[in-house]
């Protein structure tokens, strides 16, 4: 149990921000920085260094840009699909809205955040996997709190996967 107040699951919580990002900062990062930011949260199974790096990057992105990261994350690789399941991570204001019966407002806000972070999220995964990310979707359930990130990968054709991912990310920006 750490100092500064720990939750019953051993997660240390602090009122101090973990990052110095200002509200006007453009949400762009590299995979290495986001992976470092989420370090230690991912579960590593069967020598899954890539899965752990993806999990850590997604946790780091949520912690840095959303204000609070999940307590646990696990990545699954299935052919041309990547799934990242994250546990916990609701902010205090989201918990308050949920208690007031406003689950749909929280869901819509999360989808708006996904649309805003689309390019950063997709290019981070492309950088880690070395493949083009064709599309991405995020979803959340509240009881228990779980977030799911789903990525669709293109074939490895030897082209510029980062440029192709940026193009895919800006081509179709879903809005809630």
Is the overall model pTM greater than 0.75, yes or no? no
**Which secondary-structure segment (H or E) carries 146?**
strand 145-153
pLDDT at 122 over 60: yes
Average pLDDT over residues 125-151: 94
Position 138 pLDDT exceeds 50:
yes
Residue 167 reports pLDDT greater than 90: no
Tell me the per-residue pLDDT of 21-34, one tens digit each, with 9 for 90 and over: 445 555 556 666 66
Q: Which two tokens stand for residue 18?
A: 């973990």
CA–CA separation, 166 and 125 (whole Å): 11
Domains recognised in the chain with CATH numbers: 39-171 (3.30.1380)
Confidence label for 150 from pLDDT (cuts 50, 70 and 90): very high
Read off the pLDDT of each residue in 47-67 and give the average, rounded to a whole number: 89
Residue 85: other Cβ atoms inside 10 A: 17
Per-residue pLDDT tens digits for 89-98: 999 999 999 9
For 45, other C-beta atoms within 10 Å of its C-beta total 10
Q: How many CB atoms lie within 10 A of CB 173?
A: 11
């Amino acid at each position: 149990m750490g100092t500064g107040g720990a939750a019953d699951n051993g997660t240390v919580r602090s009122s101090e921000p973990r990052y110095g990002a200002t509200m006007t900062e453009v949400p762009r990062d590299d995979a290495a920085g986001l992976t470092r930011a989420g370090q230690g949260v991912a579960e590593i199974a069967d020598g899954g260094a890539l899965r752990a790096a993806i999990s850590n990057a997604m946790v780091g992105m949520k912690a840095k840009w959303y204000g609070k990261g999940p307590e646990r994350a696990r990545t699954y690789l299935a052919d041309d699909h990547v799934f990242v399941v994250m546990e916990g991570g609701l902010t205090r204001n989201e918990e308050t809205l949920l208690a007031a019966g406003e689950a749909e407002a929280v869901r819509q806000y999360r989808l708006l955040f996904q649309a805003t972070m689309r390019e950063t999220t997709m290019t981070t995964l492309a950088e880690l996997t070395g493949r083009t990310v064709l599309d991405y979707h995020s979803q959340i359930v509240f009881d228990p709190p779980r977030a799911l990130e789903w990525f669709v990968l293109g074939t490895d054709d030897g082209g510029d996967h980062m440029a192709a991912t940026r193009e895919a990310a800006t081509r179709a920006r879903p809005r809630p």
